Chain A
């Protein structure tokens, strides 16, 4: 059973370009979470999605960032007009359900975004 998959693993963008990060959850999981880890800091929650629905985007910057989890295909985290401060590791996690006592989140390997 494959784990959470993310691609690309490394992404380099110049300031002003767009970054698209993809996440395929574990088989049987319909809940996806995105976290960001800035250099030398802990992971911070960004957004929680279910299929075709954004449940909570309270941790995501209101400008330039968007996320989706379509009916078919992976979840996408999109960052428009990237700036150097967006350089970070972006991790996706998935769970089978959410809110229950044992809905453990399993993380992917992350995408390391570098903005030049």
Chain B
């Protein structure tokens, strides 16, 4: 699976949009971009995933660049409860051992009051 690069940490004011970037310049055409988050002492929580089109659900939006080499997770109105480590993961669509999720160090997002 392609390697991802994320900033170590970010801050965001409560109520503002949080934009979390992820670089995956070696992504291949059959790889999805997944986002999970881990609030302190809890299990990872699935947020969203996409292939090449932008995606939106009740939690967040995922914007993938046209060349697919980077993406941005957007939390439209961050709350204090969104403080967590956010992981960007590239995962093959099928085949091989695509079930193995590779968690890097992620981005620690701190939402400030």
Contact = CB atoms under 8 A, between A and B. Distances in A.
Q: Do A and B come from one complex?
A: yes
Interface of A: 4, 6, 31, 33, 35, 42-45, 48, 56, 58-59, 91, 93, 95, 98-110, 112
Interface in B84-105: 87, 93-95, 97-105
Interface residues of B, number: 25
B68 interface: no
28 contacts: A31-B99, A33-B99, A33-B101, A35-B101, A42-B104, A42-B106, A43-B101, A45-B101, A56-B100, A91-B44, A93-B44, A95-B99, A99-B94, A99-B95, A100-B93, A100-B94, A101-B51, A101-B93, A101-B94, A104-B34, A104-B46, A105-B99, A107-B43, A107-B44, A109-B42, A109-B43, A110-B42, A112-B41
B49 interface: yes
Question: What 10 A-B pairs are tightest by C-beta distance, nearest first?
Answer: A107-B43, A42-B103, A43-B103, A45-B100, A107-B44, A101-B93, A109-B43, A110-B43, A99-B94, A98-B99
Interface string B16-33: 000000000000000010
Interface of B: 32, 34, 36, 41-46, 49, 51, 87, 93-95, 97-106
A31 B101 CA distance: 14
Contacts of A48: 99-100
Contacts of A102: 49
Contacts of A93: 44, 101
Nearest to A4: B43
Contacts of B106: 42
A32 to B, nearest CB: 11
A46 B32 CA distance: 22
A37 B99 CA distance: 17
Contacts of A109: 42-43
B43 A105 contact: no
A99 B43 contact: no
Given A100-B94, A101-B32, A43 B44 contact: yes
